[in-house]
Amino acid sequence: MLIRKPADLRYSDVTPKELYLNRRRFLAAGSAALGALALPPTSNAASLSFSKSSYTVDEKLTPKDDVTHYNNYYEFGTGKEEPARYANTLITSPWTVEFGGMVNKPQKLDITSIIKIAPLEERIYRHRCVEAWSMVIPWIGLPLSAVLKQVDPKPGAKYVAFQTLHDPKQMPRGKYAGIDLPYVEGLRLDEAMHPLAILAVGLYGESLPNQNGAPIRLVTPWKYGFKGIKSIVKITLTDKEPPCTWNITNAREYGFYSNVNPQVDHPRWTQASERRIGELFKRKTLPFNGYADQVAGLYSGMDLRKFY
């Protein structure tokens, strides 16, 4: 007996292309007509209002295309190009960050209220990956210190712990990452309060692309890039050194501090030089990624070979 299958119909066969292309507007119009709330604006490539800051470097910016297509974000694949390809499944709106632990004002803050805590500013920072490549990135963000002051750390708090969203539905590739998820990171409180440390919400004048850690991520330019935890959902003040993902994965290779240090090699490769993205030959790596004048004082008296 022959059972005939009906010819396959695709959505494109029944949906006019103009309607499909304008589906957001279509949906918004529909929901507005129903008296429902209008859809939140899509977080992709929304331009931000910000002011320039004096935190800048006299070096050529890495092209935006490279900054947004050469990423390590293992929840979306371990290849450098994969996050740009697969991070579109990340839902960044609505987004709340939970502040807790040793704070006087524990609270859940919506991303829209976090960016109102302090004026957004552009910070042009060097970015040095532990894999010995580097970029120069115009971040948009606000000082982490301003946000922490808002939640009022208790006197006993010594460290700040951060946590990335982990939702296997949005991050199906996370199971191949070879690292425990959710991704966690930490800073000493004085590092977190340092004016160079920012929570970034954008780059190149626009809100963060998902692959760069949307909607909000940490940027600590004197540390290796992996310290800059992405898509933060939780910030906890504590009196103990918090666990950090790469340190858990391989403590010998990735320390808690992970300050950029050309004198302390990664056990498997040298950290004395780096390849600036866009350049063919390597250049010398600077202590604290060139921010020694500002941050070296945080570590005075510490043996940086021991506390790598």
Nearer to other proteins, 69 or 158 (CB): 69
Nearer to other proteins, 158 or 282 (CB): 282
CB of 127 to other proteins, least distance (A): 12
The interface mask with other proteins, positions 176-215, x = CB under 8 A, is: xxxx------------------------------------
Nearest-angstrom CA–CA distance, 211 and 272: 28
Applying CB under 8 A, does 281 fall inside the site for other proteins?
yes
Beta bridge mates, 139:
123, 203
Q: How many residues bind other proteins (CB under 8 A)?
A: 27
Q: Which two tokens stand for residue 111?
A: 């991303």
Restricted to residues 46-75, the positions that interact with other proteins (CB under 8 A) are 62, 65-66, 69-70, 74
Q: Using CB under 8 A, pick the residue from 278, 283, 302, 307 that binds other proteins.
A: 278
Nearer to other proteins, 277 or 304 (CB): 277
Nearest-angstrom CA–CA distance, 72 and 79: 7
**Alpha carbon separation from 131 to 17, 178, 269 (Å, rounded):** 44, 17, 8
Applying CB under 8 A, does 28 fall inside the site for other proteins?
no
Nearest-angstrom CA–CA distance, 39 and 27: 8
Helices vs strands, H then E, count in the chain: 10, 13
The interface mask with other proteins, positions 112-141, x = CB under 8 A, is: -------------------x-x--------
Nearest-angstrom CA–CA distance, 51 and 250: 40
Applying CB under 8 A, does 239 fall inside the site for other proteins?
no
Q: Using CB under 8 A, pick the residue from 37, 280, 293, 306 that binds other proteins.
A: 280
Applying CB under 8 A, does 268 fall inside the site for other proteins?
yes
CA 101 to chain CA mean position, Å: 22
Applying CB under 8 A, does 263 fall inside the site for other proteins?
no
**Alpha carbon separation from 229 to 37, 49, 104, 156, 261 (Å, rounded):** 32, 23, 24, 24, 19
